[in-house]
């Protein structure tokens, strides 16, 4: 094969794809020749109904401006004084729910519980809004239901080049605009409430305030439409990805008891009755737990597939020609299982690989792509890692989780923009 193990294919309505499957080529696309590879009109139109011109759907100056503003949130002061304080508050609520379930013996849907935890946490940190998901754990959350439905339908668009036609003839396709309208109106209400409360807008650490007070280079402020995009883009980043990663992590621990034993041993050595939940200064000590979280993301990346559009003719480092208008795609899901990258045990869940390798817990972003890479490297990597470690360690110290006998293993995942489990992750909760 002239260019090595590389695949190309054509999808009607999309065009020709060239699959990038080595770190060197991915680094070229996502960093070395970054301005040549953009999200493009195809992806933009697929996601626009939901994400608008938010950071995940934006390119060029609009993306750069948003990224610069977002970066101001993730500093040590905010982590210590705001972010981790909220994480601790919400973790205590999760522990109280688990305590009741352990006493009653009722099954627990861990994925739903984690969704509630991350939505409540993110709502408070970024918008000062309490969704009260954990306050009423048995009640459905309309916002979350609409959010999940829209994501699922947009995920289907990525596999259907003629979605703008076929959606006219399906029940789900006709429902999609209604759900997008609900999410939009919900977001506008948040913005309206904030504008009607001048004192609240003075908080510099609030993401919404940060953007409401921001100005473009020409002095213009963001419109309500642009602020809506900020809200919806950040919720998908803060709620879905971490909740799904926690779900896959807990599943992998339940089916790998020897790994769970090592993790719990670390937890018991670092936590106590006096400190039942790690804080910002101690969370970094949980090396094995972080390795387990990363190993989960290696095999279950929350954004399993991605692609870019080539603006002008280019050549990859391995000699593969890419022509203007063609799409370059890569799969973090496939890369995580590639023996050429991870060795013969690539398909085995083994957290030690992140502790015993030269890279350790700072692997190459072009090999371990679960947090994206290059200039678009995830700004919330530390946010998600700290959130997951705080909740997982506190829960595993007190409780042992067992899959229900009829729980499918491994769980199926459903079509979406991210990687949710298709069905509830039902477990029995026991006191340790």
The mean-pLDDT minimum among 63-77, 178-192, 343-357, 370-384 falls in 63-77
Count the Cβ atoms, other than its own, within 10 Å of residue 80: 13
For residues 406 and 418, the answer to whether their CB atoms sit within 8 Å is no
Q: Which two tokens stand for residue 361?
A: 């817990």
Task: Say which DSSP state 214 is in.
Answer: -
Query: How confident is the model at residue 213, as a pLDDT?
Result: 81
Highest average pLDDT, of 43-47, 66-70, 291-295, 412-416, comes from 291-295
**Contacts from 308-315 at CB under 8 Å and sequence distance 24+?**
308/29, 308/30, 308/37, 308/38, 308/39, 308/40, 309/37, 309/38, 309/39, 309/40, 309/41, 309/42, 309/43, 310/36, 310/37, 311/35, 311/36, 311/37, 311/38, 312/36, 314/33, 314/36
Grade residue 278 by pLDDT with cuts at 50, 70 and 90: very high
For residues 116 and 143, the answer to whether their CB atoms sit within 8 Å is no
* Dist CA 49 CA 181 (whole Å): 9
The mean-pLDDT minimum among 60-74, 81-95, 174-188, 361-375 falls in 60-74
Say whether pLDDT at 91 is over 60.
yes
* Dist CA 179 CA 340 (whole Å): 43
The answer to the question of whether 84 is labelled as a binding residue is no
For residues 369 and 305, the answer to whether their CB atoms sit within 8 Å is no
Task: Tell the burial category of 79 from Cβ atoms under 10 Å away from its Cβ (0-12, 13-18, 19+).
Answer: buried
Say whether pLDDT at 204 is over 80.
no
pLDDT in tens, 311-320: 999 999 989 9
Task: Say which DSSP state 394 is in.
Answer: H
List CB contacts of 177: < 8 A, sequence separation 6 or more: 49
Grade residue 69 by pLDDT with cuts at 50, 70 and 90: confident
Query: How confident is the model at residue 212, as a pLDDT?
Result: 84
Query: How confident is the model at residue 276, as a pLDDT?
Result: 95
Query: How confident is the model at residue 3, as a pLDDT?
Result: 58
pLDDT in tens, 51-61: 999 888 888 88
User: What is the average pLDDT across 89-107?
Assistant: 97
Identify the residue with better confidence: 127 or 411. 411
Domains and CATH numbers, the chain: 8-431 (1.10.630.10)
Question: Sign of dihedral through CA atoms 195, 197, 201, 205?
Answer: negative
pLDDT in tens, 235-251: 888 888 999 999 999 99
Taking each helix axis from N to C terminus, what angle separates 241-254 and 110-127, rounded to the nearest 10 degrees? 150
What is the chain's mean pLDDT, rounded?
91
pTM value > 0.75: yes
Residue percentage of the chain with pLDDT more than 90: 69
Nearest to 365 by CA among 293, 307, 294, 280: 294
């Amino acid at each position: 094969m002239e260019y090595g193990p590389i695949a190309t294919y054509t999808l009607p309505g999309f065009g020709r794809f060239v699959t990038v499957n080595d770190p060197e080529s991915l680094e070229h696309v996502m960093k070395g020749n970054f301005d040549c590879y953009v999200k493009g009109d195809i992806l933009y139109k697929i996601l626009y109904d939901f994400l608008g011109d938010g950071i995940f759907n934006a390119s060029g100056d609009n993306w750069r401006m948003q990224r610069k503003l977002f970066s101001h949130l993730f500093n040590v002061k905010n982590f210590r004084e705001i972010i981790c304080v909220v994480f601790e508050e919400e973790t205590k609520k999760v522990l109280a729910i688990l305590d009741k379930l352990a006493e009653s013996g009722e099954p627990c849907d861990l994925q739903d519980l984690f969704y509630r935890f991350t939505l409540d946490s993110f709502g408070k940190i970024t918008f000062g809004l309490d969704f009260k998901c954990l306050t009423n754990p048995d009640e459905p959350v309309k916002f979350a239901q609409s959010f999940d439905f829209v994501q699922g339908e947009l995920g289907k668009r990525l596999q259907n080049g003629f979605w703008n036609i076929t959606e006219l003839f399906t029940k789900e396709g006709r429902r999609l605009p209604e759900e997008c309208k609900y999410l939009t109106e919900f977001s506008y209400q948040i913005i309206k409430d904030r504008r009607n409360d001048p004192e609240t807008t003075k908080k510099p650490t609030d993401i919404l305030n940060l953007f409401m007070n921001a100005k473009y280079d020409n002095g213009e402020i963001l419109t309500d439409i642009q602020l809506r995009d900020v809200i919806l883009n950040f919720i998908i980043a803060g709620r879905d990805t971490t909740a799904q990663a926690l779900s896959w992590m807990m599943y992998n621990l339940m089916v790998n008891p020897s790994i769970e034993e090592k993790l719990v041993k670390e937890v018991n050595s670092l936590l106590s009755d006096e400190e039942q939940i790690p804080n910002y200064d101690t969370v970094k000590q949980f090396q094995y737990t972080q390795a387990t979280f990363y190993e989960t993301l290696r095999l279950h990346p929350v954004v399993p597939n991605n692609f870019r559009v080539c603006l002008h003719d280019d050549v990859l480092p391995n000699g593969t020609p890419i022509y203007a208008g063609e799409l370059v795609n890569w799969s973090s899901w496939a890369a995580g299982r590639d023996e050429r990258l991870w060795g013969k045990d690539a398909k085995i869940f083994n957290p030690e690989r992140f502790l015993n390798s030269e890279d350790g817990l700072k692997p190459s972003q072009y090999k371990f792509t679960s947090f994206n890479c290059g200039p678009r490297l995830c700004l919330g990597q530390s946010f998600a890692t700290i959130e997951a470690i705080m909740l997982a360690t506190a829960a595993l110290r007190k409780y042992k989780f067992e899959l229900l006998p009829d729980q499918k293993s491994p769980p199926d995942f459903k079509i979406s923009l991210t990687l949710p489990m298709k069905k509830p992750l039902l477990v029995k909760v026991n006191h340790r």
